[in-house]
């Protein structure tokens, strides 16, 4: 397709020209394509209206909670997201493979990308642990010292990794299956996204530096010098994380850049990785306390907040059991996140989502990785 035609399509004037250049289809095939196009467009309109309502209700709930007003069933969308049920797209060599109603997927960066950009932009190579057990021990000690419970740590790990994940595990990648492919940039025991790494460095960087400085003061000669150099690099990464506004959208945009992807490699470092993994969960615990939850969160409740974000997660934690039975999980996701999340789609309601999380935690906590983490305590 030439540049003139592409520009016309962008401004909505290319339909006649595109039709003129398109190969002529048989009447039957053209009818099938027209039927599909109409059905698909109707579905997209319905879907847009649904997710607009979801966003509006979410904003309303946040306002009511800030003002101390009770949240009721009328503050949720109580129907499930629309599912396309029209005719399938016709398959024919004369019809272009690309469906213009479905946006192209962005390539998902992998660990090699994180490491390459970390070297390129920060001259940083993570210091890997001597063994998986060493990283688990450091994580367990860090998390306990921060105030997390053994149950929270193990059960979230079990759910997020299937009870067998390693500190450098990326979502979708299974070392035992060479054909497996990454499904998101999420890494580590709690499956932190690149945006999480950017956000944690921006918000808690000084605390991470303080912890490393304490470690450095207890070390001698070469080991101390290496840690001091690591602190200098960490400061550069913190400065980069603060080059964008504090909102999530801006951090997410940075996380997709080479500089942002380089920041994500910090999770692999034996000294810094456990700090970020711990801080992500600790932030959820502290957020719950500000919303009146003084008791320890269960593993499943903490996972709800890790899984959907603190604002959405606390909404489910505070929800009465009767509402949990009828409120769709879609209320707590952005459209793209929901569509990429098979657990949220399959469970359907908050009650079923919580039950599914608990069942998975029970099952996966028996796997070797979870048992090894338990032994680190």
Spatial separation of the C-alpha atoms in residues 351 and 319, rounded to whole Å: 10
Q: What is the mean pLDDT of residues 56-66?
A: 91
Model pLDDT, residue 20:
38
Residue 98 scores a pLDDT above 90: no
Q: Provide the residue ranges of all domains of the chain, joining segments of one domain with +.
A: 3-75, 111-375
Residue 328, pLDDT score: 96
Q: What is the pLDDT of residue 29?
A: 86
Of 281, 132, 107, which Cα lies nearest the Cα of 185? Answer: 107
Cα separation of 116 and 126, whole Å?
A: 11
Task: Tell which wins on pLDDT, 269 or 217.
Answer: 269
DSSP structure string for 337-361: HHHT-HHHHHH-BHHHHHHHHHHHH
| Segment 288-300, tens digit of pLDDT | 999 899 999 999 9
Q: What is the pLDDT of residues 34-49, one digit of tens each?
A: 999 999 999 999 999 9
Task: Check residue 336 and give its pLDDT.
Answer: 85
pLDDT greater than 60 at residue 2: no
Give Dmax (Cα) for the chain: 81
What is the model's pLDDT at position 87? 93
Judged against a pLDDT cut of 90, whether residue 14 lies above it is answered with no
7-11, 22-26, 95-99, 126-130: range with highest mean pLDDT: 126-130
Report pLDDT for 377.
87
Write phi, then psi, for 54 (nearest 5 degrees).
-60, -50
- Local confidence band at 97 (pLDDT 50, 70, 90 cut-offs): low
**Mean pLDDT to the nearest integer, 309-316:** 90
Kindly state the percentage of the chain with pLDDT values over 90.
72
Average pLDDT over residues 309-324: 92
Q: Residue 111: is its pLDDT beyond 80? A: yes
227-250 residue pLDDT tens: 999 999 999 999 999 999 999 999
Residue 61 has what pLDDT?
A: 93
Mean pLDDT of the chain: 89
Mean pLDDT of 67-77: 92
Q: Contact 249/336 with Cβ under 8 angstroms?
A: no
pLDDT at 18 over 50: no
Report the pLDDT value the prediction gives residue 100, as an integer from 0 to 100.
60
CATH architecture, domain defined by 111-375: Orthogonal Bundle (1.10)
- Asked if residue 11 has pLDDT above 50, the reply is no
Which of 16-20, 28-32, 175-179 has the largest mean confidence?
Answer: 28-32
| DSSP, residue by residue, 60-75 | HHHHHHHTTPPP-GGG
CA angle 206-304-156, nearest 5°? 70
| pTM over the 0.75 mark | yes
């Amino acid at each position: 397709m030439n540049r003139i035609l592409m520009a016309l399509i962008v401004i909505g004037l290319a339909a006649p020209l595109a039709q003129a250049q398109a190969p002529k289809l048989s009447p039957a095939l053209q009818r099938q394509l027209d039927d599909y196009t109409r059905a698909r467009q109707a579905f997209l309109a319905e879907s847009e209206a649904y997710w607009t309502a979801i966003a509006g209700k979410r904003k309303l709930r946040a306002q009511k909670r800030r003002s101390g007003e009770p949240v009721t069933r009328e503050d949720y969308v109580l129907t499930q997201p629309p599912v396309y049920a029209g005719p399938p797209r016709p398959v024919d060599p004369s019809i272009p493979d690309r469906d213009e109603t479905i946006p192209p997927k962005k390539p998902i960066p992998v660990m090699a990308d994180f490491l390459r950009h970390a070297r390129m932009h920060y001259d940083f190579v993570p210091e890997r642990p001597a063994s998986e057990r060493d990283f688990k021990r450091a994580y367990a000690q860090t998390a306990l010292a921060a105030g997390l419970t053994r149950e929270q740590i193990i059960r979230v790990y079990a759910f997020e990794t299937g009870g067998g994940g390693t500190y450098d595990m990326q979502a979708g990648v299974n070392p035992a299956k060479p054909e497996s492919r990454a499904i998101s940039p999420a890494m580590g025991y709690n499956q932190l996204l690149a945006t999480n790494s950017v956000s944690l460095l921006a918000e808690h960087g000084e605390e991470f530096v303080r912890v490393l400085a304490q470690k450095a003061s207890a070390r001698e000669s070469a080991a101390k010098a290496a840690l001091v150099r690591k602190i200098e690099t960490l400061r550069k990464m913190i400065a980069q994380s603060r080059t964008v506004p504090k909102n999530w959208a801006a951090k997410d945009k940075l996380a997709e850049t080479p500089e942002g992807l380089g920041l994500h490699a910090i999770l692999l470092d034996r000294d810094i990785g456990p700090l970020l993994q711990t801080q992500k969960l600790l932030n959820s615990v502290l957020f719950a306390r500000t919303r009146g939850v003084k008791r320890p969160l269960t593993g499943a409740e903490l996972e709800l907040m890790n899984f959907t974000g603190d604002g959405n997660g606390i909404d489910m934690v505070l929800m009465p059991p009767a509402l949990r039975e009828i409120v769709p999980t879609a209320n707590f996701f952005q459209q793209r996140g929901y569509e990429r999340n098979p657990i949220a789609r399959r469970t359907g309601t908050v009650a079923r989502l919580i039950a599914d999380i608990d069942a998975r935690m029970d099952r996966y906590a028996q796997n070797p990785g979870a048992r090894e983490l338990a032994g680190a305590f």
